[in-house]
């Protein structure tokens, strides 16, 4: 398709094409011809990324000054785009990525976000490059977001949040992803969730609270179907918030954490819940050597589970001597209902061939009456890998249609 053919397309189609580009590149099309000049201003998707302006290969004494100049151009671009746009033209999607922490000014972000909210933004994604471990804290005021009734998708990453004193009213919000955020208090998160009654997809990883205590209860989210949470910081959400989901991803589970005292929230009198609707779970362990007895106990709380996926990270730090020292795992006295009646697929990632791992895999295959696939992956190669496959192949399978795959 040549340039003339593209230019002959309707404005709506051209604007749609430009919406997939970072705003810097979309604005650059204005030099093509008079036909293109006004188009980028009507694009309903704005995507600003300071890495497209700030070069990372500067060296020498002028490094700091050159980066500051580049960042100034980035600021000018964002303000120019916001000013050039028709005030009555809505913004459907607003994405902002700032990685130059040393020049970050939260006032600018507040102004841009307020402008997007005024233009009835529906999809808002902010990544501001702040890490919870930073000493130099620059909290950002995003209070206008939390009363934006048009917002459907909200993704916040690496932000130190100024407390929002007003109430939260997000009736249209369906997707909420929070990663590496600092809240002044845990009550702020409770307020945010209670003000999002129609939430369907929730992610919470790397959250930090200056004040962990709260008098506000975490209320159930009746429409929530998908949750992705970090077990080390937000296990308290199990109590009411995520126990009705169909899909659950638990990230960074330390060994022997499930059902151990660490899961008990002293403030809430926490009791591990039943996941009556859960059909798909992904468990990601922080360290190698998962406690398989605790996994089975977890499965007793998931009566309808169909897909079980277990990921063991950092296994490359474990040498062969540690594998040999790992103990046996005895079959528990009872089998969870989900394994007997509902489990269809099981994935074991980071398999090292310990006795406990093998016994767990055998336990699933021998009791999974309706199991269709047992997929195991390992970073080990050569004869040792072939030996593990051979050992697994000899396991009895309760389901005649179960397929064992090993890679």
Indicate whether 216 belongs to any domain.
yes
Give the confidence band of 266 by pLDDT, cuts at 50, 70, 90. very low
Could you give the number of structural domains in the chain?
2
Are 278 and 302 a contacting pair, CB within 8 Å? yes
% pLDDT > 90, the chain: 37
Structure tokens at 61: 């004494």
Q: Which residues pair with 253 in a beta bridge?
A: 285
Indicate whether 168 belongs to any domain.
yes
Task: Specify whether 256 is located in the same domain as 384.
Answer: yes
The arithmetic mean of pLDDT across residues 370-379, rounded, is 92
* Structural domain span for residue 384: 235-407
Q: What is the pTM of this model?
A: 0.82
Is residue 320 predicted with pLDDT exceeding 90?
no
Is residue 335 predicted with pLDDT exceeding 60?
yes
Indicate whether 58 belongs to any domain.
no
Give the confidence band of 325 by pLDDT, cuts at 50, 70, 90. very low
Is residue 229 predicted with pLDDT exceeding 50?
yes
- According to the model, what pLDDT value does residue 142 have? 93
Indicate whether 393 belongs to any domain.
yes
Task: Specify whether 188 is located in the same domain as 268.
Answer: no
From residue 131, give the alpha-carbon distance in Å to each of 48, 70, 154, 214. 20, 22, 19, 24
Task: Specify whether 219 is located in the same domain as 296.
Answer: no
Give the confidence band of 203 by pLDDT, cuts at 50, 70, 90. very high
- According to the model, what pLDDT value does residue 289 have? 53
Task: Specify whether 111 is located in the same domain as 252.
Answer: no
Answer with the one of 158, 193, 224 that is the final residue of a domain. 224
Are 176 and 200 a contacting pair, CB within 8 Å? no
Is residue 215 predicted with pLDDT exceeding 80?
no
Are 104 and 138 a contacting pair, CB within 8 Å? yes
Least confident of 18-27, 318-327, 335-344: 318-327
For residue 135, the tally of other CB atoms under 10 A from its CB is 4
- According to the model, what pLDDT value does residue 225 have? 97
Indicate whether 230 belongs to any domain.
no
Question: Which range, 69-73, 90-94, 235-239, is most confident?
Answer: 90-94
Q: What sections of 32-105 are H helices per DSSP?
A: 63-84
């Amino acid at each position: 398709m040549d340039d003339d053919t593209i230019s002959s397309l309707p404005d709506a189609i051209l604007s749609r094409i430009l919406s997939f580009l970072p705003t810097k590149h979309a604005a650059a099309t204005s030099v093509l011809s008079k036909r293109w000049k006004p188009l980028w201003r009507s694009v309903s998707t704005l995507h600003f990324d300071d890495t497209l302006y700030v070069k990372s290969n500067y060296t020498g004494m002028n490094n700091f000054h050159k980066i500051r100049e580049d960042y100034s151009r980035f600021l000018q671009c964002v303000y120019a785009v916001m000013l050039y746009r028709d005030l009555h033209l809505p913004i459907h999607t607003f994405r902002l990525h700032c990685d130059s922490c040393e020049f970050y000014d939260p006032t600018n972000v507040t102004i841009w976000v307020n402008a997007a909210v005024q233009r009835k933004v529906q999809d808002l994604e902010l990544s501001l490059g702040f890490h919870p471990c930073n000493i130099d804290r620059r909290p950002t005021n995003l209070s206008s977001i939390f009363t934006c009734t048009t917002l459907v998708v909200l993704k916040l990453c690496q932000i130190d949040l100024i407390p929002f004193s007003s109430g939260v009213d997000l009736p249209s919000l369906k997707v909420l992803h929070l990663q590496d955020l600092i809240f002044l208090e845990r009550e702020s998160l409770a307020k945010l969730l209670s003000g999002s009654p129609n939430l369907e997809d929730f992610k919470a990883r790397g959250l930090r609270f200056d004040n962990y205590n709260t008098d506000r209860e975490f209320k159930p989210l009746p429409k929530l179907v998908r949750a992705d949470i970090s077990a080390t910081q937000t296990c308290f959400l199990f109590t009411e918030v995520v126990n009705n989901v169909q899909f659950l991803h638990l990230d960074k589970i330390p060994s022997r954490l499930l059902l151990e005292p660490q899961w008990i929230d002293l403030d809430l009198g926490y009791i591990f819940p039943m996941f009556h609707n859960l059909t798909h779970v992904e468990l990601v362990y922080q360290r190698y050597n998962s406690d398989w007895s605790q996994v089975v106990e977890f499965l007793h709380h998931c009566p309808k589970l169909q897909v079980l996926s277990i990921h063991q990270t950092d296994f490359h730090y474990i040498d062969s001597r540690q594998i040999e020292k790992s103990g046996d795992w005895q079959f528990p006295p009872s089998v969870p209902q989900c394994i007997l009646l509902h489990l269809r697929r099981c994935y074991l990632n980071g398999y090292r061939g310990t006795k406990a791992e093998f016994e767990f895999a055998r336990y699933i295959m021998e009791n999974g009456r309706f199991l269709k696939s047992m997929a195991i992956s390992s970073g080990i190669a050569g004869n040792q890998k072939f030996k593990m496959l051979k050992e697994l192949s000899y396991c009895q399978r309760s389901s005649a249609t179960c397929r064992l795959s090993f890679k």
